[in-house]
Amino acid sequence: MSAKQTVAQAPGIRQTMSDLHIWTGLLAGWILYAMFLTGTVSYFKDEISRYMRPELPVAQALPDAGRTAEQVAAAILAQTPGTPQLGITLPTPRNPTASAFWRDPQAKGRGFGSGVFDPATGARLDARETRGGDFFYAFHFNFHYMPVIWGRWLAGLCAMFMLVAIVSGVITHKKIFTDFFTFRWGKGQRSWLDAHAALSVLGLPFHFMITWSGLITLMVLYMPWGLQSLAPPARQAVTSEMRFFVPPGKPAGEAAPLLPLAGFVQQAQARWGPDGAGTVQVNHAGDANARVLVARQQAQRVSTTPQYLLFDGVSGALLKTKDTSGPAATTQGVLYGLHLGRFADIATRWLYFLVSLAGTAMVGTGLVLWTVKRRARLPDPDKPYFGFRVAERLNIAAIAGLSVAMTAFFWGNRLLPMEMAQRANWEIHLFFIAWGLALAWALLRRPKRAWVELLWLAAALLALTPVLNALTTSRPLWRSLAQGDWVYAGLELTLLALAAVHAALALRTARHQPRARPVRKGGASQPPVPALPAEPVGEGA
Amino acid sequence: MTAAHMVVFLLCAAGFAALALAMDRHQQDVLGRALPPRATQLLRGAGWALLLAALWQAVGAKGWALGLVAYSGHASAAAGLVFVALLAWNRWRGQ
């Protein structure tokens, strides 16, 4: 890049964009890194949840969907006879148990009950109390220990910064095509810039999509005025265009038997194919005004706009076929669907995960680049100024510390006592305790040592998670491999691969020797080390 | 299903490899010399053609909605593979 040319003149568009890119990136970077990484693992949310509930059975052949719906509904109605609404998510090959929620007027709190059921027998399955993968998913836009609304505004603000950083980064990056495949090894800041640019450019369609669609998923929160101008019934109609949301309505007060659910599910299967029924909802079972809704399986299409059949639960008449939404709702539904990737088959899901991981590394390398670039220009490298030290330490806690914290969450899941009160909450507390300790460590130790030690700690915790699992459950890695249980085996092999990545980073960081100042050659590319540019380097790409 | 994914990925990887080899810097890295302009043009044309073929395959196998999503993912992953392969090649040659 042509730092030499631009410095002499008044700052041009590229310089201005570069400054914008650097400062939006840094200010939101620490939070964005956590949003990106916890969001990335959420593509395997269901798999993580299954890993964290080892009591649930290994995947089996799925029974008939209609029978499953009937049995689960019967189990819920036996327990909560007066429920005005119950919803059953049918099992899929990816998630082989049926899950359900039901309104319970007697229940404390939000008035909902929920549970996981055996699809073959309808028996309720007991598993340890845990949020599972849902914690990472919720954290990536709600955060924690704060009202959900604050978290979502913070996430939206950071996503807006990210969008600014993406656009300004593309403008700053002069040689986006010439340098498409370029990586100059062992050249300090230049290498970091090449890595940052490659991670950004190669995944650019995804990074732009995920940031923009992330804002769109919460658009009604950020820009509520359109909806607010409508009367409540019209508002509900808009919501019903966008999501599968049908209120329970009013009961007639007369008892009438509910037709068997299997018949309704079969009609949906006839319409959408044998795997086409996704969820079954029953309103006012046993009442003359009973309604049955069968919604389409999300795996078949990108858009999250609702498609469902509405039946009279007593006569069996098909009252409504909802299979289209308006263009505005569909645009929102497609972007929402693209963000969540619920439709993705296993290959597409892995692509989502890998490119999203590249996005995480893009934010991480950007954060480190900020310190690498400034370290080269420090007047006294032994006594950096305050802002530099803050950024350097926060980088360590945000990047290496998060790996430690996320793995600690798995360890809590296996080690906390089963009967502990508030067990699921304590798993989450443990995540934040580990993260807080990592921050304290990053503040107390010399930066290079803190990087190396925390990266090694993360590598060790990751690598030992399968060992811990072998010791605390009856599903060790060798058995998962032998039985072809790819949820368990795949997750543990991924943890081992991530352990190797952390170990490699720790080794390279530890081995790096800063060069003496006058030498005009950068060192190898490590996080916390002084590195001089080999050539005048432009601004972050 | 899996076969369709493999085909799209391999077409993308071949396409990006051809596009990389149509660039001066990578010709020097991989071959140690610049290719004649005619060969460079051919490689560039072949690269774009392969990427289009991958798109055609993806959309053909999965329809526009799911096909475009899968294609975008395969394109990013394949470009990453070519990037890492060039990096490994240069490291292995001791550059």
Among A377-381, A390-394, B63-67, B81-85, whose mean pLDDT is lowest?
A377-381
- Token match 């327990």: residue? A79
Contact A179, A514 (CB under 8 A): no
CA angle A217, A223, A225 (to 5 degrees): 135
pLDDT value for A420:
93
- Residue A533, pLDDT > 90, answer no
Give the pLDDT of residue A246: 82
Residue of chain A whose alpha carbon sits nearest to that of B83: A181
Fill in the amino acid letter for A138.
Answer: A
Question: Confidence class of residue B52 from pLDDT cuts 50, 70 and 90?
Answer: very high
Rounded average pLDDT over B4-19: 97
Closest residue in B to A299 (Cα–Cα): B66
Label residue A8 by pLDDT band (50, 70, 90).
low
Q: Do A181 and B5 touch (CB under 8 A)?
A: no
Model confidence at A515, pLDDT cuts 50, 70, 90, reads: low
- Band (pLDDT 50/70/90 cuts) for residue A110 is confident
Contacts of A203 in chain B (CB under 8 A): 76, 80
Q: Looking at the partner chain, which of A185, A198, A351 has a beta carbon nearest the beta carbon of B74?
A: A351
Size of interface A-B (CB pairs under 8 A): 73
Per-residue pLDDT band for A2 (boundaries 50, 70, 90) equals: very low
Read off the tokens for A304: 């999250």
Whole-prediction pTM: 0.91
- pLDDT at position A441: 97
The sign of the torsion formed by the CA atoms of A368, A371, A374, A379 equals: negative
Convert the pLDDT of each residue in A147-205 to its tens digit.
999 999 999 999 999 999 999 999 999 888 889 999 998 888 999 999 999 999 999 99
- Of residues A461 and A108, the one with the higher pLDDT is A461
Asked whether residue A531 carries a pLDDT value surpassing 50, the answer given is: no
Pair of tokens at residue A499: 């352990």
Q: Is A358 on the interface with B (CB under 8 A)?
A: yes
Check if B2 contacts A (Cβ < 8 Å): yes
B3 touches chain A (CB under 8 A): no
pLDDT of B1 reads 61
Task: For residue A355, give how far its alpha carbon lies from the nearest alpha carbon of chain B (Å).
Answer: 7
Q: Residue range A283-308: average pLDDT?
A: 92
Q: Which of A355, A340, A341 is nearest to A207 (CA)?
A: A355
Q: Which residue of A has its CA nearest to B6?
A: A347
Residues of chain B neighbouring A182 (CB-CB closer than 8 A): 25
- List pLDDT tens digits, range A161-174: 999 999 999 999 98
Kindly determine whether residue A180 and residue B20, on different chains, have CB atoms separated by under 8 Å. yes
Q: Max Cα separation, chain A? A: 90
Which segment of A423-427, A496-500, A535-539 scores lowest on mean pLDDT? Answer: A535-539
Q: Give the count of alpha carbons within 13 A of A311, CB side only.
A: 25
DSSP β-bridge partners for residue A277: A296
Q: In a 3-state reduction of DSSP, which class is residue A111?
A: coil
Nearest to A32 by CA among A203, A208, A160, A205: A160
* Phi and psi at residue A114, to the nearest 5°: -150, 160
Residues of A in contact with B70 (CB under 8 A): 347-348, 351
Q: Which of B65, B75, B95 sits opposite A302 (nearest CB)?
A: B65
For residue A298, the model assigns a pLDDT of 85
d(CA A397, CA A435): 7
pLDDT at A529: 41
In this prediction, residue A138 carries a pLDDT of 97
Residue contact A358–B82, C-beta within 8 A: no
Minimum mean pLDDT range among A87-101, A243-257, A270-284, B10-24 = A243-257
**pLDDT of the residue at A243:** 85
Query: Which of A503-507's residues contact partners 24+ apart within 8 Å by CB, and which partners?
Result: A503/A455, A503/A456, A503/A459, A503/A463, A505/A455, A506/A451, A506/A452, A506/A455, A506/A456, A506/A459
Residue A378 has pLDDT above 70, yes or no: yes
**CB contact A354 to B (< 8 Å):** yes
Task: Kindly state the average pLDDT of the residues A385-409.
Answer: 96
Question: Percent of chain A having pLDDT more than 90?
Answer: 73
A302–B73: do the CB atoms touch at under 8 Å? no
**CB atoms < 10 A from the CB of A187, how many?**
22
- Closest by CA to A158, choosing from A34, A336, A38, is A34
- Using an 8 Å Cβ cutoff, are A288 and A343 in contact? no
Mean pLDDT of A225-245: 88
Q: How high is the pLDDT of residue A414?
A: 97
Mean of per-residue pLDDT scores for chain A = 90
- Residue B29, min C-alpha distance to chain A (Å): 11
* pLDDT at A9 (0 to 100): 61
Question: What are the residue ranges spanned by the domains of chain A?
Answer: 13-53+136-217+342-511, 65-126+244-303+305-327
Mean pLDDT of A41-64: 90
Interface of B with A in 15-54 (CB under 8 A): 16, 19-20, 23, 25-26
Residue of B nearest to A348 (CA): B70
Note the pLDDT of residue A540.
36
**How many other C-beta atoms are found inside a 10 Å radius of the C-beta of residue B83?**
22
pLDDT in tens, A67-85: 999 999 999 999 888 899 9
